Homo-oligomer: A and B are copies of this chain.
Amino acid sequence: MKLSHISELSLLENIRSTFPRRSRNIRVGIGDDAAVIKKKDQNLIVTTDMMVEGIHFDLTFITPFQLGFKLISVNVSDIYAMGGKPSYVLLNMALRRNTTTQFLDMFFDGIKEAMHKYDTTLIGGDLSAANKEMSLSATVIGYGKKYIRRSSAKAGDRIYVTGNLGDSAGGLEILQRIQMHVPLDYERAKMKNASGIRTFHSRILRMGLSPETAAPLIRRHLMPEARNPEPFIPYATAMMDVSDGLQIDLTRLCKESKVGARIYEEKIPVSPELMKAAACLNATPLRLALSGGEDYELLFTAPPGKKVKAIYIGDVMEKGMVIISRSGRGKTFPAEGFQHFGNKKDR
């Protein structure tokens, strides 16, 4: 059987049963955002994430700086999603031989910018050539006195997210139409003339959008920022980051916690920019918010009665996965979102 015929979830299940946890020091093994190893008074929290050219990124859209920044952000996001504080980074890079040193310099600038932002240090890695596709991965090591799993949500808890959903998916849609590098801060500072900005503006206007609407969405896709969980650690019962889309990620959290969920359409936070852009993209903001990936907002649960500075979107139930429409009608929602090996469109 080919991988394209089995789901990523069942492959993961296979790996989990093939490689059982063997030590009580491993508090969290395969299947959560990151692994947790108990070490005296601290927990060591470790994660690793890949970015493969043609699968996770397209160099037509993303600049080297943005790519470096994103590689660190997506990994830090997993440490944050466990309630940890990131500390150390290891970097693997398989690079095509025609990669230029200019490309690498800008890529490293992006990595540096993100590592500075998250207060982490590079401690190692590996370099290799690649014949066809650039392949990147980072391992991030963090620490935490406490850690927050996906599997500890309780019926009656409330469900929260830390920010707007769907922006990244909207940004990706726009990028796929304008087919160009979008100069954000770093690129603007480096640019000798404004032709890139002019081209960007004209292509966006041709789509019927304003640059002010498009740019924040594009930024969310190209340079996502991981959300620090610190304010929520005292009371969060379960937590993960929204990387593959709210529906699939909430389904995962509920499955791990053996609970259900009821969320409200009207409470799903959507940015004003996405509201404006959605019409041009032949998509509803809600659909992008529910199935679009790579927002990297935190999704977490907390008992009722807590003063939570995040956006309440629904409640943990005994079972069932239901979304309540604006008209009050309940609908079971499918675990729609990104799957790597399936035949669906990959990003």
Contact = CB atoms under 8 A, between A and B. Distances in A.
Interface of A: 1-4, 6, 8, 11-12, 14-15, 18-19, 21-23, 26, 29-30, 34-35, 37, 39-40, 42, 44, 46-50, 52, 54-56, 87-88, 90, 92, 94-102, 104, 108, 111-112, 115, 121-133, 135, 137, 139, 141, 340-341, 346
A132 B122 CA distance: 29
A132 B133 contact: yes
A4 B98 contact: yes
The CB with the most chain B CB atoms within 10 A, among A56, A88, A100, is that of: A88
A35 B99 CA distance: 27
22 contacts: A1-B102, A2-B99, A2-B100, A4-B97, A6-B101, A19-B111, A19-B121, A23-B121, A26-B88, A29-B123, A30-B122, A30-B123, A39-B42, A48-B92, A48-B126, A54-B131, A55-B94, A55-B128, A55-B129, A56-B128, A94-B135, A95-B341
A35 B88 contact: yes
A169 to B, nearest CB: 19
A42 B123 CA distance: 17
Contacts of A30: 122-125
A8 to B, nearest CB: 6
Given A129-B340, A130-B55, A47 B137 contact: no
Nearest to A103: B3
A90 B48 contact: yes
A298 to B, nearest CB: 19
Copies in the assembly, this chain: 2
A231 to B, nearest CB: 25
A243 B130 CA distance: 19
B341 A97 contact: yes
A46 B132 contact: no
B48 A127 contact: no
A116 B287 CA distance: 46
Nearest to A18: B108
A8 B126 CA distance: 11
Contacts of A42: 39
A129 B52 contact: yes
Given A35-B88, A121-B19, A139 B40 contact: no
A137 B111 CA distance: 20
A28 to B, nearest CB: 8
B128 A50 contact: yes
A42 B133 CA distance: 39
B47 A2 contact: no
B340 A128 contact: yes
Contacts of A124: 29-30, 34-35, 46-48
A115 B19 contact: yes
Contacts of A141: 37, 44, 46
Nearest to A49: B126
Contacts of A14: 104
A228 to B, nearest CB: 19
B35 A131 contact: no
Nearest to A42: B39
A108 B15 contact: yes
Contacts of A131: 52, 54-55, 132-133
